[in-house]
Chains A and B, each alone.
Chain A
Amino acid sequence: MNLCIGCGEAYTSRPSWSIFFWPERISLLCRDCEESFHRLKEPGCPSCMKQTGSSICSDCLEWEKSSYQGVLEKNVSLYSYEPFMQDYIARWKYRGDYILGKVFEAEFRKLYYQHFQDSKYEVVSIPISAERMVERGFNQAGELAAFTRAKRKDVLGRKKAWRKAIQAQTIAQADCRKSFSFAIRAA
């Protein structure tokens, strides 16, 4: 009997041989919570994985016309960013409930190696500001980067004056992006 880290209810995981051999594979979530995470199944847009058909989506065409032309090679996403996921991510990030992130570890690593197996890639995580770090004690993007266990390169920093501009931008972006995405770029 375990307590689900998502909803706090007690649950029993389904017995199987894999749990016997790899006890660390026991899910941290109960079935209800697990089923509320929706994996993105379609290949979607080859550039950003937006789940609309299999051709380059209208967003990406717009981007290619803007000053960001050629910046994004490829975006890969794991789950659909629905209300349940939004709430879950908010609890992980803003409340600083560290263990909630661990749920993504195995799947995230699998996805990474599926798409970026090549050793020419290095992982760069988006940093958080110093104040956020003092509040939170961890960087959620750094966590995801660590999950990949790949070679990392922390080359990005945060400029103070940019904060407000970036905030306005991310709000605008959050409105149009409906998937929980994390950009991994070729180094």
Chain B
Amino acid sequence: MELDPKRYAGKRLLRREIPLSTNVLREALQHQHFKQIPTLRKEKNSMYCNRCNATQPHLQNIDCQICDRTHLYCRNCIQMGRVSSCESFYEWSGPEPDWHIHAKPCAWEGELTRHQQIAADTIDQTMKQNGKLLVHAVCGAGKTEMLFQGITTSLRQGKRICLATPRADVVRELLPRFQQAFPNVTVQALYGGSPDKTGDGQLILATTHQLLRFYQAFDVLIIDEIDAFPYHADPMLHVASEKAKKPTCASIFLTATPRQKEKRQIAAKTLPHVFVPVRFHGQPLPVPASKLCIGLHKQLRKGSFQKGLLHWLHNRRNATRQVLIFLPTVVLANRLQDEAMEVLRPFAQKILPKREAETLIRTVHAADKDREAKVQAFRNREIAIILTTTILERGVTFPSVDVAILDAAHDVFDEAALVQIAGRAGRSPADPTGEVIFFHEGRSDAMDKAVRAIQDMNRRAKRL
């Protein structure tokens, strides 16, 4: 039987991830189309998982009844399927797949601004030279479009490309845009529960977790939002992305809010970078205002809104803009829900006068089943005010919103989160300004740093 190299190349799979019968697989092994690799390895007296590189205490014993022995299994990457030491990985060692060489893959006909073009050229160069590049572009700079030129060149050379990001929401949002831009290329989206699971496309959009399945697969690896949770804090995902690259591979990192580590690398000039300080519509980023509210914590505990927020809602410059209200915790969001329905209703009706009042105000958080539907409804202007936790801080675009953060000094709002949240406002060229306000009871360092970072980016944009 002929096996499709595209389906298996560049992956390390467990037996249950290979949909072949025992006989077919045995034959493939005899023909050396697959080779078997142990799932765990021993190095300096400790064991390591060959998929995620975890060691004790993530490796634990199981009394396995398949092989009737007690042996180790890996708990660290168990959500991608359990790796136990009595199994093996199967790695493709048959003929290399022929990825299609596209003559003219890109159907996107938009135009880039001058700054976008500079970044796009640098990205293109880096991809050609299999180098490394950090693209630091402000929220709403049009990062995705800057990638198209480089991806086009790579597809012309028959390369395989992956765009990975920590968040499944972002993958879902990117898929239609890439399918439109590259209509003749097999574009696939992979995330937990995605309809497509095969991963045999030439252009893969995936969550960073999905990279665990790949091994030396890509000629170009782009990681979007490198500073986002969980990628920035999870060593497993860094291992996964390193292993998914071919030995010679271009790496592009995208971020709007680089963390300390990247800032240090930029300063030490060990990581080439390109900076795009202007949004694609050329307007400056909205600078957050701060409002001190005495008794804010107490009132939030009681489940009522501060007068300051109502006052701000009343006096906004444009009373028809939708409003995003960020809250630090899910508990608080649920507690404020009822009060919001009553107190915020007049404002909501002013924003969308034609709609039914009952559905105008909604709460969203990570465990919410209707989250996608609610976000879509907000985008369609069916919801006026949304109370949200930090899950909407990045990756989602709403054309015309004002943003308020309640208790902005809370620990969950670090500098990156605040800059990202502020970046939700004023994204559309039709309404390029927006108001951002921090309500707090005592400023935090993160708030000051976020405001300074935004002002700094605006200053650098003006100088250009």
Residue A95 at the B interface, CB < 8 A?
yes
Give the distance to chain A from B82, nearest Cβ to Cβ, in Å.
Answer: 5
Q: Mark B66-88, 1 if CB is under 8 A from A, else 0.
A: 10000001010011001010100
Q: A98-B73, A99-B60 are in contact. Are A138 and B79 (CB under 8 A)?
A: no
Residue A139 at the B interface, CB < 8 A?
yes
Residue of A nearest to B62 (CB): A98
Give the distance to chain A from B406, nearest Cβ to Cβ, in Å.
Answer: 25
Which residues of A lie under 8 Å from residue B82 when comparing CB positions? 95-97
Check B62 against A95 for contact (C-beta < 8 Å). Answer: no
A130-177: which residues lie under 8 A (CB-CB) from chain B?
Answer: 133-135, 137-139
CB-based A-B contact count at 8 angstroms: 36
Which residues of A lie under 8 Å from residue B114 when comparing CB positions? none
Residue A3 at the B interface, CB < 8 A?
yes
Q: Mark A111-144, 1 if CB is under 8 A from B, else 0.
A: 0000000000000000000000111011100000
Residue of B nearest to A96 (CB): B82
Which residues of B lie under 8 Å from residue A98 when comparing CB positions? 60-63, 73
Which residues of A lie under 8 Å from residue B65 when comparing CB positions? 133, 137-139
**How far, in angstroms, from A135 to B87 measured CA to CA in the complex?**
11
Which residues of A lie under 8 Å from residue B64 when comparing CB positions? 137-138
Residue B57 at the A interface, CB < 8 A?
yes
Give the distance to chain A from B402, nearest Cβ to Cβ, in Å.
Answer: 35
Residue B16 at the A interface, CB < 8 A?
yes
A77-120: which residues lie under 8 A (CB-CB) from chain B?
Answer: 95-99
Check A95 against B79 for contact (C-beta < 8 Å). Answer: yes
Which residues of A lie under 8 Å from residue B60 when comparing CB positions? 98-99
Give the distance to chain A from B369, nearest Cβ to Cβ, in Å.
Answer: 13
Chain A, interface size category, equals: 10 to 19
**How far, in angstroms, from A99 to B78 measured CA to CA in the complex?**
12
Which residues of B lie under 8 Å from residue A133 when comparing CB positions? 65-66
Check A138 against B63 for contact (C-beta < 8 Å). Answer: yes
Q: Mark B50-61, 1 if CB is under 8 A from A, else 0.
A: 000000010011
Which residues of A lie under 8 Å from residue B78 when comparing CB positions? 95-97
Which residues of A lie under 8 Å from residue B66 when comparing CB positions? 133-134, 137
Chain B, interface size category, equals: 10 to 19
Which residues of B lie under 8 Å from residue A138 when comparing CB positions? 62-65
Which residues of B lie under 8 Å from residue A2 when comparing CB positions? 57
**How far, in angstroms, from A97 to B62 measured CA to CA in the complex?**
9
Residue of A nearest to B60 (CB): A99
Residue of B nearest to A98 (CB): B62
Q: A97-B75, A97-B82 are in contact. Are A137 and B16 (CB under 8 A)?
A: no
Which residues of A lie under 8 Å from residue B62 when comparing CB positions? 98-99, 137-138
Q: Mark B81-120, 1 if CB is under 8 A from A, else 0.
A: 0101010000000000000000000000000000000000
Residue of B nearest to A102 (CB): B60
- Specify which of A3, A95, A96, A139 is in contact with B57 (CB 8 Å cutoff): A3
Give the distance to chain B from A81, nearest Cβ to Cβ, in Å.
Answer: 19
**How far, in angstroms, from A77 to B78 measured CA to CA in the complex?**
29
Give the distance to chain A from B62, nearest Cβ to Cβ, in Å.
Answer: 4
B7-27: which residues lie under 8 A (CB-CB) from chain A?
Answer: 16
Which residues of B lie under 8 Å from residue A137 when comparing CB positions? 62, 64-66, 84, 86
Which residues of A lie under 8 Å from residue B16 when comparing CB positions? 135
**How far, in angstroms, from A2 to B58 measured CA to CA in the complex?**
11
**How far, in angstroms, from A98 to B73 measured CA to CA in the complex?**
9
Residue of B nearest to A139 (CB): B65
**How far, in angstroms, from A98 to B83 measured CA to CA in the complex?**
12
**How far, in angstroms, from A5 to B60 measured CA to CA in the complex?**
10
**How far, in angstroms, from A141 to B359 measured CA to CA in the complex?**
46
Residue of B nearest to A146 (CB): B63
A1-38: which residues lie under 8 A (CB-CB) from chain B?
Answer: 2-3, 5
Task: Rank and list the top 4 A-B pairs by shortest CB-CB distance, nearest first.
Answer: A98-B62, A137-B64, A99-B60, A96-B82
**Which A positions have Cβ atoms within 8 angstroms of B?**
2-3, 5, 95-99, 133-135, 137-139
**Which B positions have Cβ atoms within 8 angstroms of A?**
16, 57, 60-66, 73, 75, 78-79, 82, 84, 86
13 contacts between A and B (CB under 8 A): A2-B57, A95-B78, A96-B78, A98-B62, A98-B63, A99-B60, A99-B62, A99-B75, A137-B66, A137-B84, A138-B63, A138-B64, A139-B65
19 new A-B contacts at CB < 8 Å, known A98-B60, A98-B73, A139-B65: A3-B57, A95-B82, A96-B73, A96-B78, A96-B82, A97-B75, A97-B78, A98-B61, A98-B62, A99-B75, A133-B65, A133-B66, A135-B16, A137-B64, A137-B66, A137-B86, A138-B62, A138-B63, A138-B65
